[in-house]
Structure 1
Amino acid sequence: MSKLTIEKKLVAKEAFIFIGKSVMTTNEAEMRGVGVIPTQWQNFYQNQLLESIPNKKNETILALYTEYQSDEKGPYTFAIGTKVTNLNEMPNGMKSFSIPEGRYMVFTTRKGPVNEVVIETWQYIWEWSKTNKRAFLTDFELYDERCADPDNAQVDIYISIL
Structure 2
Amino acid sequence: MQPTIIKKEAFQAIGISITTNNELEMSSAGKIPHLWNQYFQEQITNQIPNKTTQTETLALYSNYESDETGRYTYTIGVPVSTVIDTPENMTSFTIPAATYAVFTTRKGPLSEIIAEAWQDIWNWSKENKRTFTTDFELYDERAFDPNDAQVDIYIALA
Q: 1:32 aligns with which of 15, 27, 36?
A: 27
Structure 2, unpaired ranges of 5+: none
Kept in 1, the 8 Å contact 2:64–2:72? The answer is: yes
The percent identity for this pair of structures is 52
Kept in 1, the 8 Å contact 2:23–2:69? The answer is: yes
Counterpart for residue 157 of structure 1: 153
Kept in 1, the 8 Å contact 2:12–2:95? The answer is: yes
In 2, Cα distance between equivalents of 1:9 and 1:56: 27
- How many pairs align? 157
* 1:35 positional shift: 1.8
Counterpart for residue 49 of structure 1: 44
RMSD of aligned residue pairs (Cα, Å)? 0.9
In 2, Cα distance between equivalents of 1:88 and 1:71: 31
Helix, strand or coil at the partner of 1:82 = strand
For residues 114-153 of structure 1, the aligned pairs below 5 Å read 114-153=110-149
Counterpart for residue 3 of structure 1: none
Q: 2:83 aligns with which of 71, 84, 87?
A: 87
> Which has the larger displacement, 82-91 or 63-72?
82-91
Structure 1 stretches (4+) deviating beyond 3 angstroms?
none
Structure 1, unpaired ranges of 5+: 1-5
Task: Specify the code of the residue in structure 2 equivalent to 1:122.
Answer: W
* 1:7 positional shift: 4.7
- TM-score, normalised on structure 2? 0.97
* 1:92 positional shift: 2.5
Helix, strand or coil at the partner of 2:36 = helix
The question of 1:12 aligning with 2:12 is answered no
In 1, Cα distance between equivalents of 2:100 and 2:93: 17
